[in-house]
Amino acid sequence: MLKAALNKTKRFSSNQLFIESNILTIRQLYIRNVMVYTYRHREAVLGLTTHRYSTRAAVGGGVRAPVIEMTVNLTNAYYMASTLYRRLPPVIRDLRAEPTGLFKRLVITSN
């Protein structure tokens, strides 16, 4: 449907189509929604730790990932939220009192 709306052939690459039209894929939308939820509820979801000295908990920006005992838990939303949040650039991760809209824009453009 998107190809017809943008006058592209059936054989046009879907990946290139999403890039050209600035539309997020389902995977990108899921990651964005997980990150926004994590940003809004970061104390409850992440269990942030703050120290003035270097510790194992402070290495990943103070975000600890839950311990995974079975591979089925790799798709757990809390595990994914903590690992994705740790991988954000420090400039985005360390935003505290900024509006959610700014965080959304920064997460989308940081790909």
Identify the CA nearest to 81 among candidates 40, 109, 24, 25.
Answer: 40
Give the pLDDT of residue 12: 85
User: Residue 42: how many CB atoms within 10 A of its CB?
Assistant: 19
**Does 51 reside within a domain?**
yes
Decide which of 51 and 29 is more confident.
29
The pLDDT tens digits of the residues spanning 51-107 come to 566 666 555 556 666 667 777 777 777 778 888 887 777 777 777 766 777 777 777
How many structural domains comprise the chain?
1
In a domain, 72, yes or no: yes
Residue 52 lies in a domain: yes
What pTM did the predictor assign? 0.60
pLDDT value, residue 4:
80
Domain around 39: 23-109
Residue 5 lies in a domain: no
- Look up residue 11 and give its DSSP letter: T
pLDDT digits (tens, 9 = 90+) for 55-68: 665 555 566 666 67
- What is the pLDDT, as a whole number, of residue 65? 64
* Residue-level pLDDT at 26: 85
Is residue 82 within 8 A of residue 46, CB to CB? The reply is yes
Q: Is residue 6 situated within a structural domain?
A: no
Give the pLDDT of residue 59.
Answer: 55
Residue 59 lies in a domain: yes
Number of Cβ atoms within 10 Å of the Cβ of 58: 16
Q: What is the pLDDT of residue 43?
A: 72
User: Which CA distances in Å does 58 have to 14, 72, 85, 86?
Assistant: 40, 27, 13, 11
